[in-house]
């Protein structure tokens, strides 16, 4: 049995969606952020990085969102181009660009005090400029109609990009520059993903509202905390 260490409305949501898409049986283990459980000795034995998510597997614990996603997809031979496919290289490049770019910059914006060498507000402004660039790149990529991004059958990349659109709308502290309608291809991606059965299951589990990506409201999870 796979065991997903999660917190509501965190990066673990992306992994939950992929587990649901693949139809894999799994258990969830709540990491209580309100109690700072991700820094506890018990959790650090699971994930020494102290980040969420982590996935316990028959092969040991896998952590880091992109690593978990790729682990699952490769073992299921689904949601990613095959190892021998000519599409594999571009797909992997964008998958890890999402991890090292979009996800990291959102983390830097949300927790600017941890990363800024000067005023946190100034750091957020710099990071916001980078976030706009990231979104513009994905919008352009969707216009190119690749089989591994924005196609009728979603891949890991679709989920990895779509979920942060929710966080941009909800959690960019004190900023009003983000309007998903400004990126119509990303808006369409959000609408497609939020209608999938995998997202419906996540909506029930984590209290994400009726339109969790295209018109999100703060989560009301049945347990845990939303940030």
Four-point Cα dihedral 15, 20, 25, 28, nearest 10: 50
Q: Average per-residue pLDDT in the chain?
A: 95
- In whole angstroms, give the CA distance from residue 38 to residue 81: 33
Domains in the chain: boundaries = 88-196
CB-CB neighbours of 12 under 10 Å: 26
What is the rounded average pLDDT of the residues 71-97?
Answer: 98
- Which pLDDT belongs to residue 210? 96
Residue 174 pLDDT greater than 80, yes or no: no
Domain 88-196 grouped into CATH 1.20.1050.10: yes
What is the rounded average pLDDT of the residues 154-177?
Answer: 93
- In whole angstroms, give the CA distance from residue 223 to residue 214: 24
Residues 6+ apart with CB under 8 A from 209: 203, 216, 217, 219, 220
Q: Which residue has the higher pLDDT, 87 or 223?
A: 87
Four-point Cα dihedral 132, 136, 142, 144, nearest 10: -160
Residue 161 pLDDT greater than 80, yes or no: yes
At 1-29, the pLDDT tens digits run 899 999 999 999 999 999 999 999 999 99
Backbone region of residue 179 per phi and psi (left: phi > 0; alpha: psi in -120 to 50; beta: other values): beta
**The model's pTM:** 0.96
Say which DSSP state 98 is in. Answer: I
pLDDT band at 227 (very low <50, low <70, confident <90, very high): low
pLDDT band at 225 (very low <50, low <70, confident <90, very high): confident
What is the rounded average pLDDT of the residues 176-186?
Answer: 95
Residue 224 pLDDT greater than 90, yes or no: no
- Which pLDDT belongs to residue 98? 98
Residue with tokens 């073992």: 75
């Amino acid at each position: 049995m796979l065991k997903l260490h999660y917190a509501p409305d965190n990066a673990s949501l992306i992994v939950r969606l992929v587990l649901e898409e693949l139809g894999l049986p799994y258990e969830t283990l709540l990491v209580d952020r309100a109690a700072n459980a991700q820094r506890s000795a018990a959790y650090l034995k699971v994930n020494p990085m102290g980040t969420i998510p982590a996935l316990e597997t028959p092969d040991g614990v896998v952590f880091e969102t992109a690593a978990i996603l790729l682990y699952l997809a490769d073992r299921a031979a689904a949601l990613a181009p095959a190892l021998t496919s000519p599409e594999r290289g571009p797909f992997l490049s964008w998958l890890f660009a999402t991890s090292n770019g979009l996800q990291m910059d959102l983390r830097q914006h949300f927790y600017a005090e941890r990363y800024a060498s000067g005023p946190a507000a100034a750091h957020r402004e710099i990071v916001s400029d980078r976030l706009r660039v990231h979104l513009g790149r994905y919008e352009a990529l969707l216009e190119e109609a690749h089989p591994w991004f924005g196609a009728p059958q979603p891949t890991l990349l679709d989920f990895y990009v779509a979920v942060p659109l929710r966080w941009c709308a909800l959690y960019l502290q004190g900023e009003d520059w983000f309007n998903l309608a400004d990126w119509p291809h990303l808006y369409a991606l959000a609408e497609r993903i939020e209608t999938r059965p995998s997202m419906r299951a996540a909506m029930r589990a984590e209290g994400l509202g009726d339109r969790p990506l295209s018109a999100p409201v703060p989560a009301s999870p049945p347990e845990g905390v939303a940030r």
